[in-house]
Each structure stands twice: as C-alpha cells, then as structure tokens.
C-alpha cells in the first residue's frame, strides 16, 4: 500500500474553551452549546451529533445563559448585559439588546415560548416579548418590591459544618408546584411552592451542585456537580402499581473530571458539559428503542472543523487559535527506517510566526496558501490578508491593506493551488473570487446566493486546475461553480446529512464529499453525475464499523501519483481508500493493524480491501500529504489538554 514518513506533530497547543451552557431544542433535535469564550455551537443530534454551525466568540461576551424560544430561535445573554439573537441561516448575530440591568446571570423562556425573562446583576428580573424579528421590553420586576409570597430558606449546614454562604445555583419549577433547588452545599432539595416548605432533601455531593435540567414530561431530571458527577433523578411509583410517586435518585454518571457547569435533558439522553471542555451525551437506555450505535455514549471534545492549514511546498503548518495564529516549519530527517521507527531529526520544527489579532473577536477561519506566501484570516468584522517573504531564515510579513468593504466577515477562505486566486465565503452567502498578483489583489467576481436564500457557505473546495469551485452550506446542498466562465455549473443532488468535508481530485475533477453519517460520495463534475465507483459503494454499502465511527471526517486529500487513492481522516483514524480494490463487506475485517506475515498469498488477496486504516495517531486534528511519500499528522493528546485545565476538586480515595 505504501510506506510514508510521517511528521508527527504534537505542538499544536490548542485547548478548547470550557462549556458554559447547553440548550436542547426538541423541535429540531438540535443542541446549542456556549463556551466560556463566548463561542456558540449548534449540534444536530439527528445528523450523528455533527457540529453544523458555530458563532465565533468575543472576549467581552461571556455567555451565561442560552435558550431556544419561539420554536427554533436561539437567544443568549451574558455578562455584557445584552440579549442576543443568532441568525442560524446567515450564521451571524441578528441583533443585541442591552437590558440596562448590568451583567445578566440567567435567562429563561416562558412555557409558551413567546417571552424571555432575564435576571440581572442589579437584582431585577426583566421580561421581554419576542416579536417576529426582535425582542421588546415589556416589564421589570424589581428586587423585593412586591412582597414575596414565600421565602424558602436553604439550610446552610453541610455535614455539620456551616459554610460561609450557600448559593442556590439552579432552580426548577414543575407544573405540579414542586420547586427543585440545587445549591453549593451539595444538596438537591424539593420544595412545596404552595406552602413554602421543604419536602425532601438529597445530599449528593461534597461540593457544589451547579446545574439542573428537567425533562419535558417532568418525570425525570438531571443535575451536575462540581465533582464532575451527573445524577439522574426519576419520578417513580412508591410501589409497583401504585399511583403515588416519589423522586428517587436513580443513576450517577461520572464522565467529567471537572465542574459540570450545565446539563440538558433531551427525551432520550442526558447532556452535560463543563470546565473539562467535553460535551457528553449519555443516552438513557430505557428510552432508546433500538439498541444500535446511537445508544452509545458520545463525548465530543474537538471542533468538527479544521483549525490547521498546510503549505505543502514550504512544509509549513498554520495553527488557528481563538486570538492568534501560529506558523511552524516542519523539521526534516535524512534517515530511513522500517514501519514504526522513529527517525533521528536532522532539523527540528521551528516556530516561525505568532500573529495576534487585534480586538476582542475570535478568529473564524484562516488559511495559508500552498506556496506559503499568503496567509489570510477573518474575524466577524475584519478580513486580514498577509504576504510573506522568505529570505533564508528570515521571514517578513506585510499586511495587504485596503480590503474592500464586502470582504468583512469570511466563514471560509481558500487559496487556489497556484496561489493566484483567493476564494472567500462570506456570511451573506456570497462567494468572492479575488485575483492575487505580487503584493496586490483585484476582486474578480462574486457568486451571489440564489435569490431568496441567505444560506451561508461553510466549506469550499477548489480543483487543482483552478477551474472548479465547490461550496457547501449548512444545509445539505453542494454547488459547483465554473471559475473560468464565472457561472454556476451544477448542484450535487441534496443529501439528508450535512457535508463534513469535501475535495476535488486532480486530473479527474471528481468531487469527493463526506457526510456526517459517514457516507462518502464521489461526484464527477465534468459529467455532472456520481461516478461508477460511488454508485458501487452505495449499492454495496459501507462496512458497518465504518458507519459506526462517531467523529466526522474533517479532511479529504489525494495522492499526486496514485489517482485511485482517496485520503481522509477523522479524529481517531486515518484512511486511504484504494478504489481499485474490492470493498469490504460486513464479514471482512475492516481494520487490520498487523502486517501480513507468512500467510499464503491467497489469503492475503482475499482479505485485501479498499480501506487501509491507521489508528496510530489520535486524537487526530489534521492529516495531509506533503509529497508522495510524506505525511503530516497533527495530534492533540487529551492529557496535554487536561494538564492545562485548572486542577479538579480533589476527592479522597480512602476513608470515604
């Protein structure tokens, strides 16, 4: 199959931000997640938990609350004192409204979904009416001005030791009048709202209980503690066949190492997230009808998009962080070896450049050209293009100034293979083509979105001859444009699952598309139809283990000399698909890490199939071919991330 030298890179010092809020939308089966840096991500739970949208963070915009209202509209509120609505089509912030109450700590939506309530730093609670295109202030409930009907006093005692303060971190009000509170003393308490009395108290943790979420049916709820534990409570009959029910703590789960800052309860799963940056989706086995792979626990740690781009010609890697970019030059070796060897380095990797953004906004996307002489990145309000000059070991950087006003916010940037063209997907749905020459640029054309749609394009792919440009949006369609004639060439038939990666093969101009359900299609752009190989694959179906992988394919590339090979990877495996070999069926071993030993040639021929998989590198954030015999793999070991997190609450092992 081939032997490669692999540059195994572990110096991408990426640490995802901790999760602050999660909000589940039952109507669309989508999950919104906000992180401590203000980033908001939307996961489609129906599409194999794919992170299909994201809104870049902002330094001053710590999100403290997130909720869905009016069906599928997404709102957030935070410490900057504003309520924001997100445009899920154009992928930008629709508007931000200052509530004039200081930082907002909490937000809730009325049961009808038409009103928003926010709790502010000054102690006031403010009610907003949701109108079709904005929100409107309605009334203000001032602190203690109206006499409270009941005052429930939470016991500060904890294991006999009185804490300085007991903070109620969350409450839930059930339709039968029960109030559930979770507090910093580790208690989950049930109150009767009619009388204001404590009904029941569960001491579940030695640390804070920080979050609570109730199921829609109100027969089950979930709480998360600072010890990383998630507890499931269920309303169960006292005895079988009895109509009297009580709340019982049923299942504890320990999938987090740090504070569980937020929880959500979907009809079939418990969702939790916190400081340890993992989003954990734990299906409730009794609610899952089909015990298939969807019933497995999901732990999502890394973004489902690329943060790394690579200049093959100069062997450079560009790393994208929230507020800066890093440019590294790979090392080299002259040694050779056999499979598994680590070769002595003749030159180590160099950190060439540290490019810090100006302003509080997070970087949305970045790209380095194949030749290494251009770097472009974009935030929500500005687009940056730099020209790099290499003189021996020195590198000089020159910003291309005077960006046209329409190049403001890019969702995806791509250079053509010869670095003469720059393709930019803007958040307004338009695709811009810019001609680069010397140190200047010229706007060539903009493909406007079809009238009536404002769907943003998130993924771009360009053919190596520069003639074809493929663009995919958040919903399933892929459009292919003819760059020479500047017109839409064709649209790939729509598919139910979002595109996670795509690329155009050199020479054949076949567009290879990976979807979140792990299907891979090959579409011939010149013929405007799926290739024979793709049809064969669809007819026979992928191996069941292939379809069960739980991270999306994030990058596809091709071998310059072997047109039958497709290289792709997800976070836990790297695969070369050899189209000339037969496809594996469910009975064949999909992943065989061992080299064929002295087995007879017949056996080997019988077991050889198109999928050559390596699971050595993980978690794998990026993998590409530098040249025919060289690969670069960027890994981010979880231990390295954990090492950069604050230490978790220490738990005693003995004497508990």
Partner 1 sequence: MVSDQKPLGSWSVKQGQIITCPAVCNFQTREYIVVHDNKVLRIWNNEDVNLDKVFKATLSAEVYRILSVQGTEPLVLFKEGAVRGLEALLADPQQKIETVISDEEVIKWTKFFIVFRHPVLIFITEKHGNYFAYVQMFNSRILTKYTLLLGQDENSVIESFTASVDRKFISLMSLSSDGCIYETLIPIRPTDPEKNQTLVRSLLLKAVVSGNTRNGVALTALDQDHIAVLGSPQAASKECLSVWNIKFQTLQTSKELPQGTSGQLWYYGENLFMLHGKSLTVIPYKCEVSSLAGALGKLKHGQDPGTHVMPRFVNWETPQGCGLGFQNSEQSRRILRRRKIEVSLQPEVPPSKQLLSTIMEDSEKHIEVEVRKFLALKQTPDFHTVIGDTVTGLLERCKAEPSFYPRNCLMQLIQTHVLSYSLCPDLMEIALIKKDVQLLQLCLQQFPDIPESVTCACLKIFLSIGDDSLQETDVSMESVFDYSNSVHDEKMEEQTEILQNGFSPEEDKCSNCDQELNKKPQDETKESTSCPVVPKRAALLNAILHSAYSETFLLPHLKDIPAQHITLFLKYLYFLYLKCSENATMTLPGIHPPTLNQIMDWICLLLDANFTVVVMMPEAKRLLINLYKLVKSQISVYSELNKIEVSFRELQKLNQEKNNRGLYSIEVLELF
Cβ proximity to partner 1, 29 vs 630, nearer residue: 630
Instruction: Kindly state whether residue 609 participates in binding partner 1, applying the rule CB under 8 A.
Output: no
b vs e for 288-308, b when ≥16 Cβ sit within 10 Å of the residue's Cβ? eeeeeebeeebebbbebbbbb
Answer for which of 301, 403, 592, 619 binds partner 1 (CB under 8 A) is 592
Of residues 203, 616, 628, 646, which one binds partner 1 by CB under 8 A? 616
305 by DSSP, 3-state: which? Answer: coil
Nearest approach in angstroms of CB 4 to partner 1 is 5
When asked if residue 587 is in the footprint of partner 1 (CB under 8 A), the reply is no
Q: Where is 644: in which H helix or E strand?
A: helix 638-644
Distances (CA, A) of 177 to 146, 148, 190: 20, 16, 10
653 touching partner 1, by CB under 8 A: yes
Q: Any idea how long the chain is?
A: 656
Strands 440-447 and 431-437: antiparallel
Q: Is 631 in the site for partner 1 (CB under 8 A)?
A: yes
Q: Smallest gap, in angstroms, from Cβ of residue 630 to partner 1?
A: 9
Which residues are bridge partners to 319 per DSSP? 308, 326
642 makes contact with partner 1 (CB under 8 A): no
| Nearer to partner 1 among residue 71 and residue 340 (C-beta) | 340
Measured CA to CA, the distance from residue 158 to residue 310 in angstroms comes to: 55
394-399 sheet: strands from edge to edge: 365-368, 374-378, 383-391, 394-399
Closest distance between partner 1 and the C-beta of residue 548, in Å?
Answer: 19
Q: Which is nearer to partner 1, 12 or 441 (CB)?
A: 12
With vertex at residue 462, the alpha carbon angle to CA 470 and CA 405, rounded to the nearest 5 degrees, is 80
Question: Which segment (270-278, 355-363, 367-375, 594-602) binds partner 1 by CB under 8 A?
Answer: 594-602
What's the min distance (Å) between Cβ of 1 and partner 1?
4
**Cβ contact 41:63 at 8 Å:** no
- For residue 414, the minimal CB distance to partner 1 (Å) is 27
Nearer to partner 1, 348 or 437 (CB): 348
Residues 482-511 contacting partner 1, CB under 8 A: none
Per CB under 8 A, 127 contacts partner 1? no
281 near 264, Cβ under 8 Å?
A: no
458: closest CA among 418, 490, 431?
431
| Nearest distance from C-beta of residue 564 to partner 1, angstroms | 14
Secondary structure (DSSP) of 20-83: EEEEEETTTTEEEEEETTS-EEEEEGGGTTEEEEEE--BTT--EEEEEEETTTEEEEEETTSEE
In DSSP terms, 247 is beta-bridged to 235
Residue whose CB is less far from partner 1, 167 or 616: 616
Pick between residue 529 and residue 630 the one whose CB is nearest to partner 1: 630
Which CB, 438 or 647, lies closer to partner 1? Answer: 647
DSSP-based three-state secondary structure for 643:
helix
Nearer to partner 1, 196 or 331 (CB): 331
| C-alpha dihedral sign at 446, 450, 453, 459 | negative
598 binds partner 1 (CB under 8 A): no
248 near partner 1, rule: CB under 8 A: no
Please tell me whether residue 329 binds partner 1 under the rule CB under 8 A: no
- Core vs surface per residue 562-573: b (16+ CB within 10 A) or e: beebbbbbbbeb
Question: Where in 526-585 is the site for partner 1 (CB under 8 A)?
Answer: 576
Binding segment for partner 1 (CB under 8 A), chosen from 28-36, 214-222, 394-402, 607-615, is 607-615
Q: Per the omega criterion (within 30 degrees of 0), is the bond before 491 cis? A: no
Where does residue 132 fall: left (phi above 0), alpha (psi -120 to 50 degrees), or beta otherwise? alpha
Judged by CB under 8 A, the stretch of 78-86, 436-444, 502-510, 608-616 that binds partner 1 is 608-616
Rounded to an integer, what distance in angstroms lies between the CA atom of residue 223 and that of residue 508? 54
- Position 636 contacts partner 1 (CB under 8 A): no
CA separation, residue 326 to residues 323, 350, 370, 378, 545 (Å): 10, 11, 16, 15, 36
The rounded distance, in Å, linking the Cα atoms of 628 and 4 is 8
Cβ closest to partner 1, residue 130 vs residue 571: 571
Asked if 246 interacts with partner 1 (CB under 8 A), we say no
Residue span binding partner 1 (CB under 8 A) among the ranges 3-11, 33-41, 115-123, 467-475: 3-11
Smallest gap from residue 464 Cβ to partner 1 (A): 23
Q: Is 267 in the site for partner 1 (CB under 8 A)?
A: no
Least separation in angstroms between CB 206 and partner 1: 14
Name the residue nearer to partner 1 (CB basis): 3 or 244: 3
Q: Which is nearer to partner 1, 263 or 553 (CB)?
A: 553
487: buried, middle or exposed (CB in 10 Å: 19+, 13-18, 0-12)?
exposed
For partner 1, which is the closer residue by CB, 250 or 389? Answer: 250
Q: Is 655 in the site for partner 1 (CB under 8 A)?
A: yes
Judged by CB under 8 A, the stretch of 98-106, 333-341, 425-433, 519-527 that binds partner 1 is 333-341
Measure CA 576 to chain center: 24
The b/e string for 496-535 (b: 16+ C-beta within 10 A; e otherwise) is ebbbbbbbbbeebbbbbbbbbbbbbbbbbbeeeebbebbe
Q: How far, in Å, CA of 407 to CA of 403, rounded?
A: 6
Minimum CB distance to partner 1, residue 338 (Å): 6
Instruction: Pick out residues in 335-354 that bind partner 1 (CB under 8 A).
Output: 336-343, 345, 348-349
The reply on whether position 299 binds partner 1 by CB under 8 A is no
Cβ atoms 553, 566 nearer than 8 A: no
Residue corresponding to tokens 């663009």:
471
Pick between residue 159 and residue 488 the one whose CB is nearest to partner 1. Answer: 159
**Phi, psi torsion values for 46, nearest 5 degrees:** -80, -20
Based on the shown chain and the rule CB under 8 A, indicate whether residue 114 belongs to the binding site for partner 1.
Answer: no
CB of 266 to partner 1, least distance (A): 26
For position 594 contacting partner 1 by CB under 8 A, the verdict is: yes
User: CB of 636: closest distance to partner 1 in angstroms?
Assistant: 11
2 binds partner 1 (CB under 8 A): yes
Taking CB under 8 A as the binding criterion, the range among 281-289, 420-428, 487-495, 587-595 that sits at the site for partner 1 is 587-595
Q: Which is nearer to partner 1, 441 or 611 (CB)?
A: 611
11 binds partner 1 (CB under 8 A): yes
242 is a site residue for partner 1 (CB under 8 A): no
Interface with partner 1: number of residues (CB under 8 A) = 40
Residue numbers at the binding site for partner 1 (CB under 8 A): 1-11, 331-333, 336-343, 345, 348-349, 576, 592, 594-596, 612-614, 616, 631, 639, 652-655
């Amino acid at each position: 199959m081939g032997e490669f030298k692999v540059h195994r890179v572990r110096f991408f010092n990426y640490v995802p931000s901790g999760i602050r809020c999660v909000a589940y939308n039952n109507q669309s089966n989508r999950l919104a997640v906000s992180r401590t840096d203000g980033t908001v991500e939307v996961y489609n739970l129906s599409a194999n938990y794919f992170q299909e949208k994201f809104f870049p963070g902002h330094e001053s915009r710590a999100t403290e609350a997130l909720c869905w209202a009016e069906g599928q509209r997404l709102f957030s509120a935070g410490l900057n004192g504003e309520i924001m609505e997100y445009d899920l089509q154009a992928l930008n912030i629709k508007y931000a409204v200052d509530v004039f109450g200081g930082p907002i700590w909490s937000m809730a939506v009325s049961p009808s979904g038409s009103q928003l309530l926010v709790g502010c730093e000054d102690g006031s609670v403010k009610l907003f009416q949701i109108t079709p295109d904005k929100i409107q202030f309605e009334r203000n409930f001032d602190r203690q001005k109206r006499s409270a009907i009941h005052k429930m006093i939470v016991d500060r005692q904890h294991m006999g030791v009185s804490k300085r303060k007991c903070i109620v971190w969350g409450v839930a009000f059930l339709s039968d009048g029960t109030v559930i509170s979770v507090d910093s003393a580790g208690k989950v308490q049930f109150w009767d709202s009619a009388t204001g009395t404590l009904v029941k108290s569960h001491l579940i943790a030695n640390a804070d209980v920080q979050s609570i979420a109730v199921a829609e049916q109100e027969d089950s709820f979930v709480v998360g503690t600072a010890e990383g534990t998630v507890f499931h409570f269920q309303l169960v009959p006292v005895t079988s066949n009895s109509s009297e029910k009580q709340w019982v703590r049923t299942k504890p789960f320990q999938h987090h190492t740090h504070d569980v800052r937020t929880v959500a309860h979907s009809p079939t799963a418990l969702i939790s997230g916190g400081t340890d940056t993992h989003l954990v989706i734990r299906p409730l086995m009794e609610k899952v009808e089909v015990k298939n792979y969807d019933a497995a626990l999901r732990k999502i740690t890394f973004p489902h998009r690329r943060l790394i781009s690579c200049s093959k010609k100069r062997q450079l890697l560009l790393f994208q962080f929230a507020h800066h970019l890093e440019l590294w030059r790979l090392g080299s070796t002259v040694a050779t070896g056999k499979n598994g060897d680590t070769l002595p380095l003749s030159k180590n990797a160099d950190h060439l450049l540290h490019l810090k953004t100006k302003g509080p906004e997070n970087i949305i996307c970045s790209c380095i050209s194949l030749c290494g002489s251009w770097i472009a990145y974009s935030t929500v309000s500005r687009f940056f293009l730099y020209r790099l000059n290499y003189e021996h070991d020195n590198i000089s950087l020159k910003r291309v100034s005077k960006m046209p006003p329409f190049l403001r916010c890019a969702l995806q940037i791509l250079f053509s293979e010869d670095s003469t063209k720059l393709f930019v997907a803007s958040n307004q749905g338009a695709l811009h083509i810019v001609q680069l020459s010397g140190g200047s640029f010229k706007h060539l054309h903009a493909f406007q979105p079809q009238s009536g749609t404002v769907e943003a394009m998130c993924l771009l792919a360009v053919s190596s001859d520069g003639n074809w440009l493929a663009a995919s949006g958040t919903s399933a369609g892929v459009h292919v444009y003819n760059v020479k004639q500047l017109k839409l060439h064709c649209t790939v038939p729509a598919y139910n699952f979002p595109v996670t990666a795509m690329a155009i093969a050199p020479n054949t101009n076949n567009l290879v598309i990976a979807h979140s359900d792990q299907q891979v299609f090959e579409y011939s752009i010149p013929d405007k139809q799926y290739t024979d190989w793709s049809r064969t694959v669809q007819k026979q179906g992928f191996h069941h283990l292939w379809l069960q992988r739980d991270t999306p394919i994030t990058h596809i590339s091709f071998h310059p000399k072997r047109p039958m090979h497709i290289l792709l990877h997800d976070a836990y495996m790297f695969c070369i698909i050899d189209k000339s070999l037969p496809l594996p069926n469910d009975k064949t071993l999909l992943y065989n890490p061992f080299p064929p030993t002295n087995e007879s040639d017949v056996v080997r021929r019988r077991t050889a199939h198109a999928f050559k998989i390596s699971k050595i590198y993980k978690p794998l954030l990026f993998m590409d071919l530098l040249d025919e015999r060289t690969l670069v793999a960027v890994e981010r070991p979880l231990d390295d991330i954990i090492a950069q997190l604050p230490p978790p609450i220490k738990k005693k092992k003995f004497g508990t």
